[in-house]
Amino acid sequence: MSDIEMLEMDDVCIKENEMYYKPSTLTDTPMHYCPGCGHGTAHKVLMEVVEEMGIENDIIGVAPVGCSVFAYHYMNVDMQQAAHGRACAVATGIKRCYPERFVFTYQGDGDLAAIGTAETIHAANRGENILVVFINNGIYGMTSGQMAPTTLPGMVSTTSPFGRDVATMGHPLKISELLAQLPGVAYVTRQSVHEANNVKRTKKAFAKALEYQKRGLGFCLVEIVTNCPSNWKMTPLQSNKFVTDKMIPFYPLGDIKVPEGK
């Protein structure tokens, strides 16, 4: 680099010109996720909102079992680990002991929509005042790509090598639409993090959900349709294209339920 370019770099890269920086609510520990995995983006966006709202000392998260089992290593806030699928039950306990704290769970589709279906539905039905972040990558990521309740019809996984046959394996479970019907549920939205504009919308959704929790409106669910390049056996770019071409047409993005009068 020439001297002039260097000078320009020093001149531009100063605090007052900062447009984007890694939020302080993420630890310095490098995330173990595969290259291009949406888990990292989702962690980052959630933690940006926590930082911007200044609630890092007032929020407690519940980590799942799945690829994001180590979420507590990366999110620089108080965290509790739950057994597979039980995050909503653990979050219920935490919120009831500390009603003044913000409480969220962060769960994959295997965790939330398979082994944890009961805990999720009943927490929603009780109108627990928590935020549930639901990462829908259509597969069990951590255990190497078995079919999940959310796997698309015809989608290949290690346990549906010829594609999901809905006649024998059932149809994908649209958890968000299902939970939106329950009176205890205040806010349900489906977002994604595969493109910059979607990342911005997801951020707004998290901010809204935490605002509703502050006002005690009830259960809020933010589903994020995302990728699993490793188990889909794709490059990160191919996997994001699959999200656009296949996942989103089946799981359309947008608000599914908003609090009354919003």
Partner 1 sequence: MAKVIGKIIIDIEHCKGCELCVESCPHDCISIADTINAKGYQYAIMVNDHCTGCVNCALVCPDAVISVYRKVVREPKPAKIKEVEIS
Binding site for partner 1 (CB under 8 A): 5, 8-9, 11-14, 17-23, 26, 30-31, 33-41, 44, 193-196, 199-200, 235-237, 240
67 touches ligand TPP (CB under 6 A): yes
Provide CB contacts within 8 A for 107, sequence distance 6+. 64, 66, 68, 85, 87, 88, 116, 120, 132, 133, 134, 135
The least distance separating ligand TPP from the CB of residue 168, rounded to whole angstroms, comes to 20
> Which DSSP symbol is given to 53?
H
What residues between 198 and 257 interact with ligand SF4 by CB under 6 A? Answer: 228-231
Distance CA 225, CA 251 (A): 7
Provide CB contacts within 8 A for 134, sequence distance 6+. 107, 109, 112, 113, 175, 176, 221, 222, 223, 224
187 touches ligand TPP (CB under 6 A): no
The least distance separating partner 1 from the CB of residue 77, rounded to whole angstroms, comes to 16
Distance CA 224, CA 199 (A): 10
Strands 102-108 and 131-136: parallel
Pick 17 or 57: Cβ nearer partner 1:
17
Residues in the interface with ligand TPP (CB under 6 A) total 19
Which of these, 117, 137, 111, lies nearest to 42 by C-alpha position? 137
Which of these, 207, 206, 212, 211, lies nearest to 185 by C-alpha position? 212
Task: Mark 111-140 with x for binding to ligand SF4 (rule: CB under 6 A) and - for no binding.
Answer: --------------------------x---
The least distance separating ligand TPP from the CB of residue 60, rounded to whole angstroms, comes to 20
The least distance separating ligand TPP from the CB of residue 76, rounded to whole angstroms, comes to 20
Which of these, 170, 162, 107, 165, lies nearest to 140 by C-alpha position? 107
Closest chain position to ligand TPP (CB): 108
Phi-psi region of 131 (alpha: psi -120 to 50; beta: other; left: phi over 0): beta
Q: Are 24 and 54 in contact (CB under 8 A)?
A: no
Pick 67 or 247: Cβ nearer ligand SF4:
67
Distance CA 16, CA 105 (A): 34
The least distance separating ligand TPP from the CB of residue 101, rounded to whole angstroms, comes to 25
User: For residue 67, what are its two tokens?
Assistant: 């690829």
The least distance separating ligand SF4 from the CB of residue 259, rounded to whole angstroms, comes to 31
Pick 12 or 167: Cβ nearer partner 1:
12
Residue whose structure tokens are 């190497």: 144
Instruction: Report what 4 binds from partner 1, ligand TPP, ligand SF4, none; CB cut-off 5-8 Å by kind.
Output: none
The least distance separating ligand TPP from the CB of residue 139, rounded to whole angstroms, comes to 6
What residue ranges bind ligand SF4 (CB under 6 A)? 33-34, 37, 39, 67, 137, 141-142, 228-231
What residue ranges bind ligand TPP (CB under 6 A)? 65-68, 84, 108-111, 115, 135, 137, 139-143, 148, 228
